[in-house]
Every structure is written in structure tokens, then in C-alpha cells.
Amino acid sequence: MSRDTFVRWLEDLSGDDTDAVGGKSANLGELADLDVPVLPGFTTTASAYDYYVEATGIHSEIKSQLDGLDVDDVSDLQRRGERIRRTISEASMPPELESAILERYAELGDEIDIEDPEVAVRSSATAEDLPEASFAGQQETFLNVAGETELIESIKHCFASLFTDRAIVYRENNDFDHFDVKLACTVQKMGRADLASSGVLFTLDPDTGFEDVVVIEAAYGFGEPIVQGVVDPDRYVVFKPTNGIVEKQLGGKTQRMVRRNGGTKLESVPEAAREEFALSDERIRELATYATRIEEHFETPQDIEWLVDGDLEELFVVQARPETVHGAATENVLRTYSLTETAEELLDGVAIGSAIATGPVRILEDHRQMDLVEEGDVLVTEMTDPDWVPVMKKASAIVTDRGGKTSHAAIVSRELGIPAIVRAGDATDVLSDGTTVTVDCSTDTGRVYEGALEYEVTEEEIDDLPETETEVKLVLGDPDRAFALANLPVDGVGLAREEFIVTSHVGHHPLALLSRGEESQFVDALRTGIAKIGAAFYPDEVIFRLSDFKTDEYRNLTGGPPYEPEEDNPMLGWRGASRYYDETFREAFRLECEALRQVREDVGLDNVIVMVPFCRTPEEGQRVLDLLAEFGLSQEEMDIYVMAELPSNIVLADRFAELFDGFSIGSNDLTQLTLGVDRNSEQLAPLFDETNDAVKRSITSLIEDAHRHDRPVGICGDAPSTIPEYTEFLLEAGIDSISVSPDVAIETLLTVAEFES
């Protein structure tokens, strides 16, 4: 009999071997077949199990114990089950089988250069006819098994676990022959994540269902506390088409699970290690490559557990299974929630989902207090685990003190479509039982407000929309909304305002950071913000507009005041292009350019191009173009647009057209400056009118001049988003693209389609 009859290397198996080695071993073989690294190991075969049962002569003993079994008689079942398991585990391993297993074990030790390596022994049943979910977890796992004697004992116990009481009942109730199911044992080197790191990943963004990214959570030590949300992990987002890293968020990682005295325990992570990312960029990209490969192979989004083995200093995929939340159906209704009033904010945390809900607070310490929860309550608790699901189903919203984006509370809330705020600090102390609150997850930061606030829900069907010749794009500067909006049928983003990204993701004045040598903080955060928007709409064009803060706005950034003059008219002041080449600001401008250069070159998002705002003269335009080229952004590599928002841009359109690759009309500033109406003045608000002929003629004339020079013209000011008829005027004037806010994108598309038909 060949040794392969009894034992097989995992790497030699494939998904077709389920009958021979059971589902678990075959799946690991399938991964190895894809050149995805799995922890080294072997499996015993179904034939080995059969041989064991036959050669030891225990078959008839098992059979006689099962004869006349009444599964409803629990004590009889327990008695018989116990006896069968004892019969199996106490039989002596036949010598041929034992030597086949021990030879493989020795070879495994040789291969990884560890004598008597610690292994995990897991059961792999050949129950392919049984629904996976109902069979999974019915057999045992033995961890940290070392040495020949312990290995053989574990394998015998593993065999015996085919006859747990639950498994017996399941087979009886479903008319499965007890001897048709075989048990193979997967024997794999123990993954030493306790010496390195581990985590989970999804091959899509679990919050929005955006499919072009891999989202990885990583921390030190074994993965269990990461899955449970006890440890606050790092979070990395990788863009699949370029394998570029879009985002890296440093997690707290205060604790890690390690081995201690044969068991595990949580220990504190040294301060210096917490400040570092758990994975290098190289590892992040390597992991994303495997994740994408697995997803492509199984043709459905995956939820993957992985680890870095500290002994072998290698990355391994431990488990891959279909992602159940977003994997199945794609929603073609876009629901957008927004609060229409506000009240005192009670606390905040990480928002899960994007909905808003209201209800009375119900604080629970234990899921067994479930009866206290009424349908529609806002469930507030420290943390949840699977026992909480029935309670969570009754809630209108969930707030937990602890947990992360893939913690139990988060995953279940997403699946149930219930807004949840996790890691909300001391929610169980701050909120009081019985008081009504509003839970708002419509932005990235989830917030709890006092009282039942009014909110709006808009629904957009995004199926079967017509293609239009005039492009419809988004105005979108909030990176946190980008993935959720990625499925809108638009032609990219016509305006991503840098100011939005800086305010939400940086918060500090660039010159203040430069003076402290912390410029990378600015570059990294800005790069992440741009990359998220760029990735969401790739390969459609995303126009990133360079900074156009006014001095009063810049002063509001942390550390801003010393760098910003007090101006009487910031609207007409030191803003836009004029700042870039100013010696006092030039270095800050270099940082903006560097962030974009990294997005294009390092993340690979060359769909992101640049636009210059508030450019007063062609001479100024030339200086900025020279500077852009000096900082690595040249017109040889990408189009550079200019905003048309000053009367000088209109009057000298021919000269601007010689310099820039295209125009985008800023109807806000253009109206302000054409009519001489401060756009911030409440008193003059009625005079601020984009439909005034002076503004409209400027637009018409710009389009004519630009087209004469073969330059495209878009619009990114607010006019078409707020004045429905404006779109028609623009179309008649021959505009090439219209950018609007997301809430009116579909409406605008329909208007354009109708005009063109």
C-alpha cells in the first residue's frame, strides 16, 4: 500500500480531493494550488480513517452502539456517544498507519527545520453532501500538539470526534449513514502569530460594498482578540487594480494575545511597537495580492484570516470563506440619510453603515437581559458577541463602548442594516436608560444626539441610466463618502476641493507642520484623502483642485494664525494661485504637489489630475505651471486645468487656453466678481444671481473661446446643483461636462440625456 493512501501533503491537494481528504484539507490544498502560502503540513486521508476503523476491529462495536438508538432519549444518546468515542480513541493505532503518519511528521520537522514541531490537528470531514454551516464546528481541534505520542493520541481523538452527540443526532435526523462520512485530520505547523502579527481582511470594503479594494486589519499576536474587536487593529486599504496602498491607519494595538503555560493570555504591547504599523508595506501588498487571487479563483468576495509566523518569518493564509454581507446581491438603490436638525451631541465613535435612527436608550450588561429590550430601542452595551444577535435584531440602532470595524457588533449591524456606533468610549456611562436619542451614521464619525431629530432619506434607483455625451461628474471633497458613492453612474469627479480633505484629515496648517519638521503628517493625510477619491472612481478622471483656502480659513487650522495676515477682504485676498509661488508659502505648496505625485506614482492612480484655482493672470498661470513641473507634476504626464472664476479668465480666455489643458467654471466666484457681490454677505444674498445675463454671457463667451482653442470646458460651481434650469442653459451653450453634488447626480444625468435625445 503506498504511503499516499494514508497521508498526503497539503500542497499536493486541490478542491477535487474532498472525498479523499475532507473539505478542510482540500480547501487548504486548493489555496496552495493558487500559490497562496498555507502553513506547512499534511493530512491523513479518508482511507486512513477507514483503515483505522477496520484494522482495529471497532467497526462492529460502533455499529452495535448505534443500533436501536433513540436520539430523543438524551441520556441514552450521551451514554452511547461517550462509549463510541471511547472505543475509537482507545483503540491502538495500526502500525502501518502510525509509521506513515510519523514519517510525515518527521519530514515536516526536517522541512521547517524544527524538531518535533508543534502542530494543530483539525478534523476535515468528507461530508460534502451536508450543508457546510450545519456541519462546521462539530468536530474538534487540538492545538500545540508536539511529539509523536501526543500527535497519534490527538489524531485518534480527532477520529472520535466524528461521533459527538450533535453529529450523531444530525446524521440520524437527516438520514445520513454514519459510516458514509469519513474523518481526515489536517496536521499543520502551529502558526506562531504570537511572535509576529495576524488579522483579517475583506476583498471589498465591508462598510460600503465597494469592490475595488482589499481592507486589511492587523495587530500583534494571535488573531482571536482582533476578530472579537478587543484589540484596536491597524487598518490598511489596498486598491486592487494597481495594488497600491490607499490608506494606512495606525490602531491602538495596546494588547496582544500570546501563549502562556500551555494556554493563551493577553499581554501589554510595548509602547514603541504600538506606534509602528504591524505590517510593512511590502507585506500589505503581498497579502492583498493573495487576497485578490483567492477572490478571483472562487469568483466571489472573500473574508480571509491570515498570520505572519514568527518562527518562519513568512505570511500565511489561514482560512478563506465567502464574504456573506455584501457578497450576494448588489443594491441598486442609493439611500442617502441626512439630519435636517441638530441638537446637543452626547458622544461619538466609529460609524457603521450610513443610516440614522432614533429610539429610547436601553443599556444592557448581559444579553440575558434581552426581555428588557423593546422593538426599536437603541441598544447600548459594552460589547457584543454572537449570543447578542437576537437582542441586536430588536434594536433600531446599536452603540458599543468597544469594538472595531470588523468586530462582531459591526459585522452584524451591517448585515442587519442597523446603524451602529462602535468604540464609543463610555457610552454605557454617558447615556441614560430610557432617554430618547438619535444615532447618526451618515458621516464617518458616528454621533449620538439628545432627542429624536428629524432626518431625510433619499432613494435613488441607479439601474438603466442612459449614457450621455456631455459628461456628468461629481463635486466631491469628502474622502469618507467616496467608496459609498463609487457606484453612481457618473463620469468621475470634476472637483475635489483640497480644503475639504485638509480640514477633515489634516487639521493643521502646513507651515506650522513644516516648522516642526512634521511635514509628512500633511503629505500622508492629504495623499490618503486624494487616493480614496481617486480609487473610488478609477479609471474615470478625478480632478483634484489645489488649495484655495482664504486667509481667514487658513487661520482656523491648528497653528495657522502666525502665518496668515489679517485681511479686510479675504475673498479678494491671498488665495489660490497667488500663494503658491510666494516665497513664504512655496514650501507648503510643495507638500500639496508631493501628496498628488505620490497618489499618481506610488498608489498608481494616474486618473487623478490637477486644477489651479483663482488664477488672476496668464503670467501667474505660467509661474504656477513652472512650479508644478519643478515639483514633479508636469503637463507632459497629465492634463492641468484652470478654474474659470475671475472675469480676467473670461476676458483673456484665449491666453489661458494657450497655457492650460482645459477650464472648469467656478460659478460661485465668477458671480461674486462679475456682479461685485460678496458671496458670503447675507445682506446681499438676493443679489447673488448666477442666472444674471452678465454671468451667463461670460460663460457662453468662455465656451466659445475655449473651443476655438480646442480646450474643453466644464463647470464645478454650485449653480447646476442648486438651480435645475441651469443645466439646460449650460447644454445649450455647448458645455463639455457638468459637475454636481451627489444628491442631484441622477437628476442631472436624466436632464442631460433628455436634452441630447
Residues with active-site annotation: 408, 716
Question: How many chain residues bind ligand PEP (CB under 6 A)?
Answer: 10
Answer for the pair 675, 687: CB distance below 8 angstroms, yes or no.
yes
667 binds, among Mg ion, ligand PEP, none (CB under 5 to 8 A by kind): ligand PEP
Residue 577 binds to ligand PEP (criterion: CB under 6 A): no
> Residue type at 619?
E
Residue 666 binds to Mg ion (criterion: CB under 5 A): yes
C-alpha span between 498 and 492 (Å, rounded): 16
- What's the grid cell of residue 641? 486645468
Query: Which residues within the stretch 70-129 sit at the binding site for Mg ion (CB under 5 A)?
Result: none
Helices (runs of H) and strands (runs of E) counted in the chain:
29, 30
Stretch that binds ligand PEP, among 353-361, 415-423, 601-609, 662-670 (CB under 6 A): 662-670
Q: Is 706 exposed, middle or buried (0-12, 13-18, 19+ CB in 10 A)?
A: buried
205 binds, among ligand PEP, Mg ion, none (CB under 5 to 8 A by kind): none
Least CB distance from residue 549 to Mg ion, whole Å? 11
Q: Which is nearer to ligand PEP, 547 or 751 (CB)?
A: 547
Q: Which residues contact 616 (CB under 8 A, 6 or more apart)?
A: 576, 577, 578, 646, 648
Least CB distance from residue 112 to ligand PEP, whole Å? 59
C-alpha span between 448 and 438 (Å, rounded): 6
Q: Phi first, then psi: give them for residue 154, nearest 5 degrees.
A: -65, -40
**Options 217, 519, 548, 705; binder of ligand PEP; rule CB under 6 A:** 548
- What's the grid cell of residue 90? 482507545
Could you list the beta-strand ranges (E) of 146-212: 183-189, 197-202
Least CB distance from residue 628 to ligand PEP, whole Å? 19
497 binds, among Mg ion, ligand PEP, none (CB under 5 to 8 A by kind): ligand PEP
Least CB distance from residue 739 to Mg ion, whole Å? 13
Residue 570 binds to ligand PEP (criterion: CB under 6 A): no
Stretch that binds ligand PEP, among 142-150, 482-490, 666-674, 681-689 (CB under 6 A): 666-674
Residue 667 binds to ligand PEP (criterion: CB under 6 A): yes
- How many CB atoms within 10 Å of residue 566? 10
**Options 17, 217, 234, 645; binder of ligand PEP; rule CB under 6 A:** 645
Residue 718 binds to Mg ion (criterion: CB under 5 A): no
C-alpha span between 662 and 543 (Å, rounded): 11
649 binds, among ligand PEP, Mg ion, none (CB under 5 to 8 A by kind): none
Residue 419 binds to ligand PEP (criterion: CB under 6 A): no
C-alpha span between 524 and 513 (Å, rounded): 12
Closest Cα to residue 660, out of 699, 719, 702? 702
**Options 217, 323, 460, 669; binder of ligand PEP; rule CB under 6 A:** 669
Residue 668 binds to ligand PEP (criterion: CB under 6 A): yes
Residue 77 binds to ligand PEP (criterion: CB under 6 A): no
Q: Which is nearer to Mg ion, 305 or 645 (CB)?
A: 645
Least CB distance from residue 619 to ligand PEP, whole Å? 21
Residue 479 binds to ligand PEP (criterion: CB under 6 A): no
Closest Cα to residue 512, out of 585, 581, 566, 598? 585
Query: Which residues within the stretch 615-654 sit at the binding site for Mg ion (CB under 5 A)?
Result: 645
Element housing 296 (H / E): helix 281-298
Least CB distance from residue 136 to Mg ion, whole Å? 58
Q: Phi first, then psi: give them for residue 305, nearest 5 degrees.
A: -105, 140
- How many CB atoms within 10 Å of residue 14? 14
Element housing 573 (H / E): none
Residue 669 binds to Mg ion (criterion: CB under 5 A): yes
Residue 471 binds to ligand PEP (criterion: CB under 6 A): no
**Options 37, 479, 666, 720; binder of ligand PEP; rule CB under 6 A:** 666
Residue count of the chain, please give it.
Answer: 757
Least CB distance from residue 622 to Mg ion, whole Å? 21
Answer for the pair 376, 362: CB distance below 8 angstroms, yes or no.
no
Least CB distance from residue 481 to ligand PEP, whole Å? 17
Element housing 217 (H / E): strand 213-220
Pairing of strands 713-715, 662-665: parallel
User: For binding to ligand PEP (CB under 6 A), which residues are involved?
Assistant: 495, 497, 548, 645, 666-669, 716-717
User: For binding to Mg ion (CB under 5 A), which residues are involved?
Assistant: 645, 666, 669
